[in-house]
Chains A and B, each alone.
Chain A
Amino acid sequence: MCLAIPMRVKEIDGDSAVVEAGGIRKNIRLDLLENVEPGDYVLIHTGYAIEKIDRKEAEETLDLIKKVYRAGMTNDAEGLLE
């Protein structure tokens, strides 16, 4: 029930916004967030944006997995991500 979908903010009108993902547009509310701007990715749950998605953190998590976890792996697994 806590399923939430990442969508991109297209237009903002006060506490309402139009968001889009995969060609689907939805009207949602921004009451729970501050400083949202068009172009931001937000997580949508029951018609509300519940949090902004930090793309930099997303990239850092993936970077960590690629670089740190791969260290010390056997040769056959090396290069998986080259």
Chain B
Amino acid sequence: MNISLDSFHDPEIAGILTKKLQELDIKEPMTLMHVCGTHEHSLAKAGIRSVLPDRIRLVAGPGCPVCVCPAGDIDLAIQAAEKEKVILATFGDMFRVPSGDRSLESMRAEGSDIRVVYSPLDPVKLALDNPDREVVFMAVGFETTIAPIAASVLSGLPKNYSMITSLRLVPEALVFLLERSEGSLDGFILPGHVSTVLGRRGYSFLENEYNVPGVIAGFEPVDILQGILELARQVVAGPPFRIENLYKRVVRENGNTRANRMIYKVFEKSDSRWRGIGGIPGSGLKLKEEYGYLDAAERLGLEYDEEMVDLPEGCICDKVILGEAESEDCPSFGILCTPRSPVGPCMVSSEGTCRARYQCRRVQAD
């Protein structure tokens, strides 16, 4: 598009950063975590892990909203799709995620009307075009996607539109990860596009309350290498730690305040379950009372099944999502569990850690 933005994948600039990383005087091994499926995808594609110093371990945390969507939430969408008058709309990645022995894909094969949408505006249009049907939008996402979802609600909705929400917040997950890790996580690479909404200030609790360093990084190889370098430098230097914004071309100090206003006009924080992790206090969003009429579960009489099993037997996606195991540690990885016939949620989504690793492995083998 233009020279300056193209330079973020310039191999020569990436080479300088790689050399700087190699020159770091790292005395103790460190574990850094990113929490973004798009970061994992870029890391795997550019082969960045292979150029890191041995003492830097970079793990993937819960960075894919599809992978952490519990089976119970998908079961609600399946229940809705079973109703004859319903058109169920959701993002493509959700389509194949298993819930028990069913998925939205298998429901479509059985005759349910399920549409893959690209934007939260698409189900609104579907509802306008099909006034005699009930359009249920299964709204899934982190902050980046929640902002457009809120904007679509505020721009006015037809009467035959309702939602199943499966929305999750990154900062609350970071708190959970830190408390669970008991000091074994040395710092975070923070998700660039979630951060456009939150701003650098959205993570100030990491500096102030947890004394953990973080860097907000973009998605080109230069962005990610610079992020790892600056984070590792902080870890080597020791406290006081800070949150550094290295993605200033799109992330502002206070985030997108207009987007935040819109989000909290429509939604309010709630406790939320994460697949493979369990409940995390305050980590989700639900419709505010004044928008409660948009709740598809209430409108269609759907019942949440708390007993749905999130992970099939033998699947270690829970440990992969928490950064406690590598995809390659799983005996099913690449054998029983492949993108063509995924067993666990991390292999289903295009941004799941196992999927990214599997594709990267194939590229390297080729």
How far is it, in angstroms, between the C-alpha of A22 and the C-alpha of B66 when the chains are bound? Answer: 29
**Pair A50/B118 contact, Cβ less than 8 Å:** no
Between A and B, 5 residue pairs with Cβ closer than 8 Å are A2-B37, A2-B145, A32-B148, A45-B144, A51-B252
**Docked complex Cα distance between A4 and B191 (Å):** 12
**A2-B191, A6-B1, A29-B121 known; A65-B151 Cβ under 8 A:** no
Report the bound CA distance from A73 to B38 in whole Å: 31
A2 and B194 form a contact (CB under 8 A): yes
Q: Specify the chain B residue showing the minimal Cβ separation from A30.
A: B151
Q: Which of B217-235 contact A (CB under 8 A)?
A: 222, 226, 229
For the complex, what is the distance from the CA of A47 to the CA of B65, rounded to whole Å?
18
Known A2-B145, A45-B144, A65-B222; contact A29-B248, beta-carbon cutoff 8 A = no
CA distance A80 to B10 in the complex (A): 11
* Number of residues of chain B lying within 8 A (CB) of chain A: 56
Of chain A, the residue at the smallest CB distance from B140 is A1
Tell which of B64, B91, B118, B151 touches A32, judged by Cβ atoms closer than 8 Å.
Answer: B151
Q: Closest chain A residue to B250 by CB distance?
A: A51
Interface, chain B (partner A; CB < 8 A) = 1-2, 4-5, 7-8, 12-13, 15-17, 19-20, 36-38, 64-66, 91, 93, 118-122, 140-142, 144-145, 147-148, 151, 154-155, 191, 193-194, 196-197, 222, 226, 229, 246, 248-252, 256, 258-259, 262, 349, 351
* Assembled-state Cα–Cα distance A50/B118 (Å): 15
- Which has the most chain B C-beta neighbours within 10 Å: A15, A58, A65? A65
Closest residue of chain B to A5 (Cβ to Cβ) is B1
Within 8 A of B (CB), among A40-56: 41, 43, 45-48, 50-55
Given the known inter-chain contacts A48-B151, A65-B222, A80-B15, please indicate yes or no for A43 contacting B258, CB distance below 8 A.
no
Determine whether the beta carbon of A80 is less than 8 Å from that of B249: no
Bound Cα distance from A52 to B36, whole angstroms: 21
**A8 CA to B122 CA in the complex, in Å?**
22
A62–B229 Cα gap in the complex (Å)? 15
- Cross-chain contact A58 with B144 (CB below 8 angstroms): no
> Are B65 and A54 neighbours in the complex by a CB distance under 8 Å?
no
